[in-house]
Structure 1
């Protein structure tokens, strides 16, 4: 065994129970807590811990777990909104469970992409795509010129193209 796997094994053995308890209290679901505890330690494998002391290690683990909880809650909100909209559709047009999972994952990725955009770019993009506003109205509403709206749209569409390529598995991360 090398030093990294030995230190990881020690970290896991020392803090897994504590982290699992923290996540159970936060999520009120032992299965979700177990999943997120697992995901937290997977992140540690990909981004090794530099903290040497016990308190620093727990703080680092809690920070990663907190971010994963936020992602989890955001994903649940999106999934609930999607399922609520599906409930309004006739039973004959319902997607299969596999299609539902793909759609929810895509919605989550789009939401994450939108969250990474600067606020004015995101606002302009949503006004154009969801509300169908012309650039002139968007410019007025966002408080910029029409040329800037065109730049914002180009920036947002570039992010959409990158996301599409990632979802199609064309880009290596």
Structure 2
């Protein structure tokens, strides 16, 4: 992704950064309770802005920045949840069956790739897949949680599985 901005966009980005970086950092720090994580998320937020082709003419720049930051936080929390679930399951295996740190790292990377893949699916499809795979719920239980029929859960699962298979998982 190119990070080159036109002169006008570069000036707009500079103004946006100078005017709102400190505020965004404080906003993020309140949510993550960690200065370093807040700095990382603020950096990532502004990198997303740079990554866009043009800096939009913003009437509400803070709303724009918080929308980007919230999406980044959700992705971060979701990845952490997946990683924690994997590590919890891994912890119940006897030591002789446990995977090496290298294998664990590879598995976590694959899980992150699957997470990115699932993030492209509609919300209910993603939820159904995660409930089945991570929580071991039946289709009936998933249907109750999502407020849909068993048949719809089957369709959701087929869609998620097709997406995974198409990507080589």
Q: TM-score, normalised by structure 2?
A: 0.69
| Residue 17 (structure 1) shift | 1.2
1:119-130 aligned at under 5 Å gives the runs 119=124, 123=128
Flag structure 2 segments of 5+ consecutive residues without an equivalent: 1-5
Q: Please point out which of 20, 23, 26 is paired with 2:28.
A: 23
Specify which of 55, 62, 68 is matched with residue 49 of structure 1: 55
Matched, 1:66 2:50: no
Question: How far, CA to CA, are the matches of 1:97 and 1:37 in structure 2?
Answer: 30
Q: Structure 1 pair 62/85, CA: closer, same or farther in 2 (3 Å)?
A: same
- In the alignment, does 2:69 pair up with 1:39? no
1:87 and 2:91 matched? yes
Count of residues in correspondence between the two structures: 158
Unaligned stretches of 5+ residues in structure 1: 166-173
Question: In 2, distance between residues paired with 1:128 and 1:72?
Answer: 20
Which one scores higher on RCO, CA 8 angstroms, separation ≥ 6?
2
Distance in 2 between residues matched to 1:164 and 1:115, nearest whole Å: 15
8 Å Cα contact 1:86/1:94 also seen in 2? yes
Distance 1:18 1:45 in 2: 18
d(CA) in 1 for partners of 2:154 and 2:56? 44
1:79-118 residue pairs with structure 2 within 5 A? 79-112=83-116, 113=118, 116-117=121-122
1:18-71 CA-to-partner distances (Å, cap 9, x unmatched) read 111111111011111111111101111122432434xx1111001111111111
Structure with bigger helix share is 1
Once superposed, what is the RMSD of the aligned Cα atoms? 3.7
Q: How much does 1:88 deviate?
A: 1.7
